[in-house]
Amino acid sequence: MRSVLSSIVLIAASFAIAVGLFEFACRTIVDTGMHYHLEMWKYAVSVKEVADDPTIGHRHKPSSMARLMGVDVSINADGLRDDSRNGRSADATKILMLGDSITFGWGVPQNETVSQRLESSLSQGMGRAVSVINSGVGNYNTSMEVAWFEQYGLAMKPDLVVLNVFINDAEETPTPAVVHWYDTILYSRVILFGAFDTVRRLIFGGHDWKDYYTNLYLPDAAGWQVMQWSISNLAEMCRANNIPLIVVDYPELRELEPYPFDEVSEKVSALAADLNVEYVSVLPAVQGQNPSDLWVTVPDPHPNSYANKLFAEFLEPIIGLAANPTN
């Protein structure tokens, strides 16, 4: 009996040591600061929190900070990745950018995001103060963005609203998962689950990413129906408050020529036309580019600083005209 107990203790101790060594390796070797799954997990743990409003789902923790994908991320007291320390005047023209991780600027320094680039160039070009407010939050869909706007954005009294759309915005709003203590501290768990998912896809297959995105926009897809209603609701709120609205459509950057989602863009464009809302595709800003040159990292096709620069330069005259229609 004593030998059996000793064996159990030895096995348990060996397992604990192995787990500890693996966790140490994940933290010191695997974690280079650019591992996509680890960085997304850090973002969720350090910067996000469950929102009181279930239609918003989650939000940024006010006054939080983290280093993610090699760049410093600072969230202000309003829960936005927006630097209000630059002496914005009270009478500045306010442009509110609604969006997800692309608008947020995943993997991009704050001053190189589309929002900050537009703020600088428009202020200079228009000859007066312009405030471009970045309300982008990772993993938001259009429905969540519109719910956030209704609760918080309207109170900011913007002069122009820009709804930044990405193809996964027709996904349904996720239900916040139960978070256990080990979900917030174990790097090894993130690595193991990421590896398991990769192996599962290799062995059992999975949805082709093109088919997955295309199917989000089938006529009876629940997420697409909610997205249409949300954009219609946003257009009505803006119209009721005399706020111009622009829908800006960002491309999926894995393939650009030929672009595989023209039909999806046409559906979003047609919806905007039905609502009498200006629609802008920024696909022309990056066509002719090598797709991987536009990514944060080779396995992560979020737009990098260079792509943000191209997008901002393309949008500047369009946003400037909408924000200054008398000129």
pLDDT tens per residue, range 226-257? 999 999 999 999 999 999 999 999 999 999 99
Percentage of the chain lying above the pLDDT 70 cut: 95
Does residue 76 share a domain with residue 51? Answer: yes
pLDDT over 90 at 16, yes or no: no
Structure confidence at residue 87 as a pLDDT band (50, 70, 90)? low
Q: For residue 130, how many other CB atoms are within 10 A of its CB?
A: 26
**pLDDT value of position 201:** 65
**pLDDT value of position 9:** 83
Q: What is the pLDDT of residues 257-295, one digit of tens each?
A: 999 999 999 999 999 999 999 999 999 999 999 999 999
Does residue 209 share a domain with residue 90? Answer: yes
pLDDT over 70 at 171, yes or no: yes
pLDDT over 90 at 218, yes or no: yes
Does residue 8 share a domain with residue 127? Answer: no
Mean pLDDT of the chain: 93
Structure confidence at residue 180 as a pLDDT band (50, 70, 90)? confident
Structure tokens at 289: 């580019």
pLDDT over 70 at 326, yes or no: no
**pLDDT value of position 327:** 54
Higher pLDDT, 121 or 325: 121
Does residue 55 share a domain with residue 16? Answer: no
pLDDT over 70 at 192, yes or no: yes
Q: What is the pLDDT of residues 26-49, one digit of tens each?
A: 999 999 999 999 999 999 999 999
Structure confidence at residue 324 as a pLDDT band (50, 70, 90)? confident
Does residue 132 share a domain with residue 23? Answer: no
Q: Which contacts qualify for 191-198: CB closer than 8 Å, 24 or more apart?
A: 191/26, 191/30, 191/37, 191/38, 194/37
Does residue 16 share a domain with residue 165? Answer: no
**pLDDT value of position 181:** 84
Does residue 25 share a domain with residue 143? Answer: no
Does residue 3 share a domain with residue 133? Answer: no
Read off the pLDDT of each residue in 4-25 and give the average, rounded to a whole number.
87
Does residue 233 share a domain with residue 185? Answer: yes
Q: How many domains does the chain have?
A: 2
Does residue 16 share a domain with residue 64? Answer: no
pLDDT over 70 at 206, yes or no: no
- Enclosing domain of residue 78: 33-323
pTM over the 0.85 mark: yes
Q: For residue 185, how many other CB atoms are within 10 A of its CB?
A: 11
Q: Which contacts qualify for 314-318: CB closer than 8 Å, 24 or more apart?
A: 314/282, 314/284, 314/285, 315/114, 315/118, 315/248, 315/280, 315/282, 315/285, 316/118, 316/121, 316/122, 316/125, 318/246, 318/280
The domain that contains 205 carries what CATH number?
3.40.50.1110
pLDDT over 80 at 198, yes or no: no
Does residue 95 share a domain with residue 175? Answer: yes
Structure confidence at residue 205 as a pLDDT band (50, 70, 90)? low
Does residue 51 share a domain with residue 107? Answer: yes
**pLDDT value of position 194:** 82
**pLDDT value of position 75:** 97
